[in-house]
Amino acid sequence: MLETLFRPQLLHAVLVHFPVALAILGVPVVYLCALYASNSRVLVRLAAVIYAVLTLFALLAMFSGTAARRAVPATVDAEVWELIHRHEWMGSHVWMFAAVTTVLLVLSFIQLNWFRVLVIALAMATSLATAIWVAMTGHYGGILVYEHGVGTPYVRVADEAPAEPDPPDVEPIPEEAIDEPEEPAEEPDPDEPELVPVESIDSEAAAEVQFESDVWPILEQHCLTCHGDTRPSSGFRVTSVEAIIEGGDKAAPGVIPGEPDDSPLVQYIRGELQPQMPWGEDPLDPDEVHVIRQWIAAGAEDGEGDIEELVDESEETDEDAPTDERES
Ligand code: HEC
Protein backbone atom coordinates (compact mmCIF):
# COMPACT_ATOMS: atom_id res chain seq x y z
CA MET A 1 0.00 0.00 0.00
CA LEU A 2 2.67 2.44 1.07
CA GLU A 3 4.74 1.22 -1.82
CA THR A 4 2.06 2.33 -4.31
CA LEU A 5 2.02 5.77 -2.77
CA PHE A 6 5.74 6.04 -3.34
CA ARG A 7 5.53 5.16 -6.99
CA PRO A 8 6.83 8.51 -8.27
CA GLN A 9 4.02 9.07 -10.73
CA LEU A 10 1.31 8.42 -8.15
CA LEU A 11 3.00 10.60 -5.59
CA HIS A 12 3.15 13.40 -8.16
CA ALA A 13 -0.52 12.86 -9.06
CA VAL A 14 -1.48 13.21 -5.40
CA LEU A 15 0.76 16.19 -4.68
CA VAL A 16 -0.29 18.32 -7.65
CA HIS A 17 -3.81 18.67 -6.28
CA PHE A 18 -2.61 20.90 -3.45
CA PRO A 19 -1.13 23.70 -5.57
CA VAL A 20 -4.17 23.58 -7.84
CA ALA A 21 -6.62 23.88 -4.94
CA LEU A 22 -4.58 26.58 -3.16
CA ALA A 23 -4.06 28.64 -6.32
CA ILE A 24 -7.82 28.68 -6.90
CA LEU A 25 -8.66 29.41 -3.27
CA GLY A 26 -6.04 32.14 -3.08
CA VAL A 27 -7.57 34.43 -5.70
CA PRO A 28 -10.86 35.30 -3.87
CA VAL A 29 -9.01 35.65 -0.58
CA VAL A 30 -6.58 38.18 -2.05
CA TYR A 31 -9.45 40.07 -3.68
CA LEU A 32 -11.27 40.20 -0.35
CA CYS A 33 -8.06 41.58 1.17
CA ALA A 34 -8.24 44.41 -1.32
CA LEU A 35 -11.71 45.25 -0.10
CA TYR A 36 -11.16 44.80 3.62
CA ALA A 37 -7.39 45.05 4.17
CA SER A 38 -7.65 48.29 6.09
CA ASN A 39 -9.80 46.71 8.78
CA SER A 40 -8.99 43.01 8.54
CA ARG A 41 -5.40 41.96 9.10
CA VAL A 42 -6.65 38.41 9.56
CA LEU A 43 -7.60 38.12 5.90
CA VAL A 44 -4.19 39.29 4.73
CA ARG A 45 -2.51 36.89 7.12
CA LEU A 46 -4.66 34.05 5.78
CA ALA A 47 -3.77 34.99 2.21
CA ALA A 48 -0.05 35.11 3.02
CA VAL A 49 -0.24 31.66 4.63
CA ILE A 50 -2.10 30.24 1.64
CA TYR A 51 0.59 31.49 -0.75
CA ALA A 52 3.46 30.38 1.47
CA VAL A 53 1.97 26.87 1.63
CA LEU A 54 1.32 27.00 -2.11
CA THR A 55 4.98 27.84 -2.70
CA LEU A 56 5.98 24.83 -0.63
CA PHE A 57 3.62 22.44 -2.41
CA ALA A 58 4.62 23.81 -5.81
CA LEU A 59 8.23 22.90 -4.98
CA LEU A 60 7.21 19.43 -3.77
CA ALA A 61 5.13 18.89 -6.92
CA MET A 62 8.09 20.01 -9.02
CA PHE A 63 10.49 17.53 -7.39
CA SER A 64 7.99 14.68 -7.51
CA GLY A 65 7.36 15.60 -11.16
CA THR A 66 11.05 15.24 -11.99
CA ALA A 67 11.04 11.80 -10.38
CA ALA A 68 7.85 10.90 -12.25
CA ARG A 69 9.37 11.96 -15.56
CA ARG A 70 12.34 9.66 -14.96
CA ALA A 71 9.89 6.75 -14.66
CA VAL A 72 8.40 7.46 -18.11
CA PRO A 73 9.57 4.81 -20.59
CA ALA A 74 12.09 6.30 -23.04
CA THR A 75 10.07 4.84 -25.89
CA VAL A 76 7.00 7.11 -25.71
CA ASP A 77 6.25 9.21 -28.79
CA ALA A 78 8.36 12.31 -29.44
CA GLU A 79 5.11 14.29 -29.35
CA VAL A 80 4.50 13.07 -25.80
CA TRP A 81 8.03 14.05 -24.75
CA GLU A 82 7.37 17.53 -26.08
CA LEU A 83 4.31 17.76 -23.86
CA ILE A 84 6.19 16.37 -20.89
CA HIS A 85 8.92 18.98 -21.34
CA ARG A 86 6.39 21.80 -21.66
CA HIS A 87 4.46 20.61 -18.60
CA GLU A 88 7.68 20.28 -16.64
CA TRP A 89 8.94 23.71 -17.65
CA MET A 90 5.67 25.35 -16.63
CA GLY A 91 5.49 23.34 -13.42
CA SER A 92 8.99 24.43 -12.45
CA HIS A 93 7.85 28.07 -12.42
CA VAL A 94 4.71 27.78 -10.28
CA TRP A 95 6.58 28.26 -7.01
CA MET A 96 8.03 31.56 -8.26
CA PHE A 97 4.59 33.01 -8.94
CA ALA A 98 3.42 31.87 -5.51
CA ALA A 99 6.56 33.16 -3.78
CA VAL A 100 6.21 36.62 -5.33
CA THR A 101 2.58 36.77 -4.20
CA THR A 102 3.60 35.72 -0.68
CA VAL A 103 6.23 38.44 -0.50
CA LEU A 104 3.77 41.10 -1.71
CA LEU A 105 1.21 40.05 0.91
CA VAL A 106 3.82 40.13 3.67
CA LEU A 107 4.93 43.59 2.53
CA SER A 108 1.36 44.83 2.87
CA PHE A 109 1.80 44.69 6.63
CA ILE A 110 4.00 47.76 6.40
CA GLN A 111 1.97 50.62 7.88
CA LEU A 112 2.01 52.94 4.94
CA ASN A 113 -1.27 53.50 3.19
CA TRP A 114 -0.21 54.17 -0.36
CA PHE A 115 2.33 51.35 -0.22
CA ARG A 116 -0.23 48.88 1.04
CA VAL A 117 -2.63 49.78 -1.74
CA LEU A 118 0.18 49.27 -4.24
CA VAL A 119 1.36 45.85 -3.03
CA ILE A 120 -2.18 44.53 -2.61
CA ALA A 121 -2.94 45.63 -6.17
CA LEU A 122 0.16 43.82 -7.34
CA ALA A 123 -0.78 40.76 -5.32
CA MET A 124 -4.19 40.75 -7.00
CA ALA A 125 -2.43 40.57 -10.34
CA THR A 126 0.09 37.90 -9.32
CA SER A 127 -2.50 35.73 -7.59
CA LEU A 128 -4.54 35.71 -10.77
CA ALA A 129 -1.43 34.98 -12.83
CA THR A 130 -0.55 32.13 -10.44
CA ALA A 131 -3.99 30.59 -10.88
CA ILE A 132 -3.84 30.87 -14.67
CA TRP A 133 -0.31 29.44 -14.78
CA VAL A 134 -1.30 26.54 -12.53
CA ALA A 135 -4.39 25.88 -14.64
CA MET A 136 -2.33 25.73 -17.84
CA THR A 137 0.29 23.51 -16.24
CA GLY A 138 -2.48 21.23 -15.01
CA HIS A 139 -4.06 21.24 -18.45
CA TYR A 140 -0.88 19.87 -20.04
CA GLY A 141 -0.52 17.38 -17.21
CA GLY A 142 -4.10 16.28 -17.77
CA ILE A 143 -3.52 15.72 -21.48
CA LEU A 144 -0.47 13.62 -20.63
CA VAL A 145 -2.38 11.42 -18.22
CA TYR A 146 -5.78 11.16 -19.85
CA GLU A 147 -4.89 11.26 -23.54
CA HIS A 148 -1.49 9.63 -23.56
CA GLY A 149 -1.73 7.52 -20.44
CA VAL A 150 1.58 8.81 -19.09
CA GLY A 151 1.97 7.63 -15.52
CA THR A 152 -0.51 4.79 -16.06
CA PRO A 153 0.13 1.25 -17.25
CA TYR A 154 -1.50 2.24 -20.56
CA VAL A 155 1.16 4.69 -21.68
CA ARG A 156 1.34 4.77 -25.49
CA VAL A 157 4.78 4.05 -26.82
CA ALA A 158 6.25 4.86 -30.23
CA ASP A 159 5.06 2.36 -32.81
CA GLU A 160 8.54 1.49 -33.83
CA ALA A 161 10.06 1.01 -30.43
CA PRO A 162 13.62 -0.24 -30.72
CA ALA A 163 13.67 -4.02 -30.84
CA GLU A 164 14.94 -5.89 -27.82
CA PRO A 165 18.67 -6.39 -28.26
CA ASP A 166 19.49 -9.89 -29.43
CA PRO A 167 21.10 -11.95 -26.71
CA PRO A 168 24.79 -12.27 -27.34
CA ASP A 169 25.95 -15.56 -28.81
CA VAL A 170 26.52 -17.92 -25.94
CA GLU A 171 28.84 -20.90 -26.36
CA PRO A 172 26.72 -24.04 -26.47
CA ILE A 173 27.13 -25.86 -23.20
CA PRO A 174 28.54 -29.40 -23.65
CA GLU A 175 26.08 -32.14 -22.66
CA GLU A 176 28.06 -33.45 -19.73
CA ALA A 177 28.29 -30.04 -18.14
CA ILE A 178 24.51 -29.82 -17.91
CA ASP A 179 24.31 -32.64 -15.37
CA GLU A 180 25.36 -30.47 -12.50
CA PRO A 181 24.65 -26.89 -13.30
CA GLU A 182 26.75 -24.98 -10.81
CA GLU A 183 26.14 -21.52 -12.10
CA PRO A 184 23.26 -20.43 -14.25
CA ALA A 185 24.25 -19.51 -17.81
CA GLU A 186 25.10 -15.84 -18.05
CA GLU A 187 21.99 -13.75 -18.59
CA PRO A 188 22.23 -11.00 -21.19
CA ASP A 189 22.55 -7.82 -19.19
CA PRO A 190 19.68 -5.54 -20.17
CA ASP A 191 21.73 -2.52 -19.10
CA GLU A 192 24.33 -3.30 -21.70
CA PRO A 193 22.65 -3.18 -25.09
CA GLU A 194 24.49 -4.38 -28.16
CA LEU A 195 26.41 -1.55 -29.78
CA VAL A 196 26.44 -0.89 -33.49
CA PRO A 197 29.79 -2.41 -34.55
CA VAL A 198 32.57 -0.18 -35.87
CA GLU A 199 35.22 -0.68 -38.52
CA SER A 200 38.72 0.65 -38.24
CA ILE A 201 39.27 3.96 -39.96
CA ASP A 202 41.72 4.43 -42.81
CA SER A 203 42.82 8.04 -42.80
CA GLU A 204 43.10 8.27 -46.58
CA ALA A 205 39.60 6.95 -47.14
CA ALA A 206 38.34 9.17 -44.32
CA ALA A 207 39.73 12.28 -45.99
CA GLU A 208 37.51 11.54 -48.99
CA VAL A 209 34.29 11.76 -46.96
CA GLN A 210 32.41 15.00 -47.55
CA PHE A 211 29.85 16.45 -45.18
CA GLU A 212 27.38 17.59 -47.79
CA SER A 213 27.37 14.55 -50.06
CA ASP A 214 28.05 11.74 -47.56
CA VAL A 215 27.09 12.74 -44.02
CA TRP A 216 24.21 15.14 -44.53
CA PRO A 217 21.95 12.63 -46.38
CA ILE A 218 22.16 10.29 -43.38
CA LEU A 219 21.32 13.03 -40.89
CA GLU A 220 18.60 14.38 -43.13
CA GLN A 221 16.91 11.00 -43.42
CA HIS A 222 17.24 9.87 -39.81
CA CYS A 223 17.61 12.89 -37.55
CA LEU A 224 16.14 16.02 -39.11
CA THR A 225 12.53 15.40 -38.01
CA CYS A 226 13.51 15.83 -34.37
CA HIS A 227 16.74 17.82 -34.58
CA GLY A 228 15.80 20.54 -37.07
CA ASP A 229 15.92 24.26 -36.45
CA THR A 230 12.42 24.51 -34.99
CA ARG A 231 12.16 23.15 -31.45
CA PRO A 232 14.99 20.63 -31.72
CA SER A 233 14.81 17.71 -29.25
CA SER A 234 17.18 18.23 -26.35
CA GLY A 235 18.44 21.45 -27.95
CA PHE A 236 20.48 19.50 -30.49
CA ARG A 237 20.40 20.60 -34.15
CA VAL A 238 21.92 18.77 -37.09
CA THR A 239 21.31 21.63 -39.51
CA SER A 240 24.89 22.89 -39.63
CA VAL A 241 28.32 21.52 -38.86
CA GLU A 242 28.70 24.30 -36.32
CA ALA A 243 25.53 23.26 -34.48
CA ILE A 244 26.50 19.58 -34.57
CA ILE A 245 29.86 20.35 -32.99
CA GLU A 246 28.25 22.64 -30.45
CA GLY A 247 25.99 19.82 -29.19
CA GLY A 248 22.78 19.84 -27.18
CA ASP A 249 21.56 20.29 -23.64
CA LYS A 250 23.09 17.10 -22.31
CA ALA A 251 26.15 16.45 -24.40
CA ALA A 252 28.25 19.39 -25.45
CA PRO A 253 30.24 19.43 -27.60
CA GLY A 254 28.24 17.02 -29.76
CA VAL A 255 31.26 16.12 -31.86
CA ILE A 256 34.97 16.29 -31.08
CA PRO A 257 36.78 16.70 -34.41
CA GLY A 258 39.38 13.96 -34.81
CA GLU A 259 37.91 11.84 -31.99
CA PRO A 260 35.00 9.88 -33.44
CA ASP A 261 34.64 7.44 -30.57
CA ASP A 262 34.72 10.13 -27.90
CA SER A 263 32.06 12.14 -29.73
CA PRO A 264 28.64 11.95 -28.03
CA LEU A 265 26.90 11.88 -31.42
CA VAL A 266 28.67 8.61 -32.26
CA GLN A 267 28.02 7.27 -28.78
CA TYR A 268 24.29 8.02 -29.19
CA ILE A 269 23.96 6.36 -32.59
CA ARG A 270 25.96 3.31 -31.47
CA GLY A 271 23.90 2.93 -28.30
CA GLU A 272 26.76 3.62 -25.91
CA LEU A 273 24.76 6.58 -24.64
CA GLN A 274 21.04 6.05 -24.09
CA PRO A 275 18.43 6.57 -25.44
CA GLN A 276 19.93 5.33 -28.67
CA MET A 277 19.47 7.57 -31.72
CA PRO A 278 17.56 7.76 -34.00
CA TRP A 279 15.10 7.70 -31.19
CA GLY A 280 12.40 5.03 -31.34
CA GLU A 281 13.64 3.78 -34.71
CA ASP A 282 16.01 1.06 -35.87
CA PRO A 283 19.67 1.87 -35.26
CA LEU A 284 21.70 3.16 -38.19
CA ASP A 285 23.51 0.67 -40.42
CA PRO A 286 27.13 0.04 -39.47
CA ASP A 287 28.02 1.54 -42.88
CA GLU A 288 26.28 4.79 -42.03
CA VAL A 289 27.94 4.92 -38.62
CA HIS A 290 31.26 4.32 -40.36
CA VAL A 291 30.75 7.27 -42.72
CA ILE A 292 30.00 9.56 -39.78
CA ARG A 293 33.01 8.29 -37.83
CA GLN A 294 35.27 8.78 -40.86
CA TRP A 295 34.04 12.33 -41.28
CA ILE A 296 34.74 13.12 -37.62
CA ALA A 297 38.13 11.37 -37.73
CA ALA A 298 39.12 13.55 -40.69
CA GLY A 299 38.36 16.68 -38.65
CA ALA A 300 34.58 17.15 -39.03
CA GLU A 301 35.08 19.71 -41.79
CA ASP A 302 32.26 21.74 -43.22
CA GLY A 303 33.58 21.40 -46.76
CA GLU A 304 32.40 23.67 -49.53
CA GLY A 305 28.80 22.72 -49.07
CA ASP A 306 26.03 24.95 -47.91
CA ILE A 307 23.23 22.84 -46.50
CA GLU A 308 21.01 25.79 -45.63
CA GLU A 309 18.99 25.43 -48.83
CA LEU A 310 18.61 21.71 -48.42
CA VAL A 311 17.37 22.18 -44.85
CA ASP A 312 14.81 24.79 -45.84
CA GLU A 313 13.28 22.54 -48.45
CA SER A 314 13.06 19.42 -46.37
CA GLU A 315 11.96 21.15 -43.21
CA GLU A 316 8.93 22.60 -44.84
CA THR A 317 7.58 19.19 -45.62
CA ASP A 318 8.66 17.66 -42.31
CA GLU A 319 7.40 20.33 -40.03
CA ASP A 320 3.69 19.76 -40.44
CA ALA A 321 3.79 16.05 -40.11
CA PRO A 322 6.72 14.98 -38.02
CA THR A 323 4.69 12.36 -36.18
CA ASP A 324 2.31 11.17 -38.88
CA GLU A 325 4.98 9.06 -40.37
CA ARG A 326 5.44 7.12 -37.18
CA GLU A 327 1.77 6.76 -36.57
CA SER A 328 0.86 5.22 -39.87
C1 HEC B 1 11.99 10.74 -33.05
C2 HEC B 1 12.79 11.85 -32.63
C3 HEC B 1 14.31 11.74 -32.74
C4 HEC B 1 15.06 11.32 -33.82
C5 HEC B 1 14.57 10.82 -35.17
C6 HEC B 1 16.44 11.49 -33.42
N7 HEC B 1 16.51 11.99 -32.15
FE8 HEC B 1 18.18 12.48 -31.14
N9 HEC B 1 17.09 12.97 -29.52
C10 HEC B 1 15.70 12.87 -29.42
C11 HEC B 1 15.30 13.10 -28.06
C12 HEC B 1 13.87 13.08 -27.53
C13 HEC B 1 16.48 13.35 -27.32
C14 HEC B 1 16.62 13.59 -25.84
C15 HEC B 1 16.72 12.21 -25.23
C16 HEC B 1 16.93 12.21 -23.74
O17 HEC B 1 18.05 12.38 -23.34
O18 HEC B 1 15.95 12.02 -23.02
C19 HEC B 1 17.58 13.28 -28.28
C20 HEC B 1 18.90 13.50 -27.95
C21 HEC B 1 19.95 13.44 -28.85
C22 HEC B 1 21.30 13.80 -28.55
C23 HEC B 1 21.80 14.37 -27.25
C24 HEC B 1 21.65 15.85 -27.33
C25 HEC B 1 22.02 16.55 -26.05
O26 HEC B 1 23.17 16.97 -25.93
O27 HEC B 1 21.15 16.69 -25.18
C28 HEC B 1 22.04 13.58 -29.69
C29 HEC B 1 23.53 13.82 -29.87
C30 HEC B 1 21.14 13.09 -30.68
N31 HEC B 1 19.85 13.02 -30.15
C32 HEC B 1 21.51 12.73 -31.95
C33 HEC B 1 20.65 12.21 -32.90
C34 HEC B 1 21.07 11.75 -34.19
C35 HEC B 1 22.49 11.79 -34.70
C36 HEC B 1 19.96 11.30 -34.82
C37 HEC B 1 19.88 10.68 -36.19
C38 HEC B 1 20.73 9.56 -36.45
C39 HEC B 1 18.83 11.50 -33.93
N40 HEC B 1 19.29 12.04 -32.77
C41 HEC B 1 17.51 11.20 -34.24
C42 HEC B 1 14.84 12.61 -30.46
C43 HEC B 1 15.22 12.15 -31.69
Q: What pLDDT score does 11 carry?
A: 83
Q: What pLDDT score does 36 carry?
A: 77
Cα–Cα dist 287/180, whole Å: 44
Give me the half-sphere count of Cα atoms (radius 13 Å) on the Cβ side of residue 204.
0
Q: What pLDDT score does 183 carry?
A: 47
More confident: 273 or 173: 273
Task: Using alpha carbons, select from 245, 78, 71, 247 the residue that is nearest to residue 161.
Answer: 78
If one residue of 72, 270, 279 were mutated to test the ligand 1 pocket, choosing by the most ligand atoms within 8 A of its CB, it would be: 279
Domain boundaries, the chain: 2-147, 192-327
Handedness of CA 58, 63, 65, 66 (dihedral sign): positive
Written as one letter, the residue type at 258 is G
Q: What pLDDT score does 191 carry?
A: 52
- At residue 295 the predicted structure's pLDDT band, cuts being 50, 70 and 90, is very high
Cα–Cα dist 57/19, whole Å: 6
Contact by Cβ (8 Å): 318, 221: no
Residue 301 reports pLDDT greater than 50: yes
Atom 6, ligand 1: which residue's CA is nearest? 278
Atom 10, ligand 1: which residue's CA is nearest? 233
Ligand 1 atom at minimum distance from 322 CA: 1
If one residue of 233, 289, 315 were mutated to test the ligand 1 pocket, choosing by the most ligand atoms within 8 A of its CB, it would be: 233
Kindly report the pTM of this predicted structure: 0.47
Contact by Cβ (8 Å): 225, 315: no
Q: What pLDDT score does 316 carry?
A: 44
> Which whole number is the average pLDDT over 314-318?
46
- At residue 21 the predicted structure's pLDDT band, cuts being 50, 70 and 90, is very high
Q: What pLDDT score does 47 carry?
A: 92
Share the mean pLDDT of the chain.
79
Q: What pLDDT score does 226 carry?
A: 87
Centre of ligand 1 from the C-alpha of residue 270, in Å: 12
Work out the percent of the chain whose per-residue pLDDT is above 70. 76
Handedness of CA 219, 222, 225, 227 (dihedral sign): negative
131-179: pLDDT as tens digits:
999 999 999 888 888 877 777 665 555 444 444 444 444 555 555 444 4
Centre of ligand 1 from the C-alpha of residue 152, in Å: 25
187-245: pLDDT as tens digits:
545 555 578 888 888 888 888 999 988 999 999 999 998 888 888 888 899 999 999 99
Q: What pLDDT score does 272 carry?
A: 87
Q: What pLDDT score does 202 carry?
A: 87
Centre of ligand 1 from the C-alpha of residue 246, in Å: 14
Centre of ligand 1 from the C-alpha of residue 232, in Å: 9
More confident: 124 or 153: 124
Handedness of CA 137, 140, 146, 150 (dihedral sign): negative
Centre of ligand 1 from the C-alpha of residue 278, in Å: 6
Name residues contacting ligand 1 (CB within 6 A): 78, 81, 222-223, 225-227, 233-236, 247-252, 254, 264-265, 268-269, 275, 277-280, 284
Cα–Cα dist 37/118, whole Å: 12
134-138, 252-256, 303-307, range with the lowest pLDDT: 303-307
Work out the percent of the chain whose per-residue pLDDT is above 90. 32
More confident: 19 or 4: 19
Ligand 1 atom at minimum distance from 278 CA: 41
Contact by Cβ (8 Å): 274, 162: no
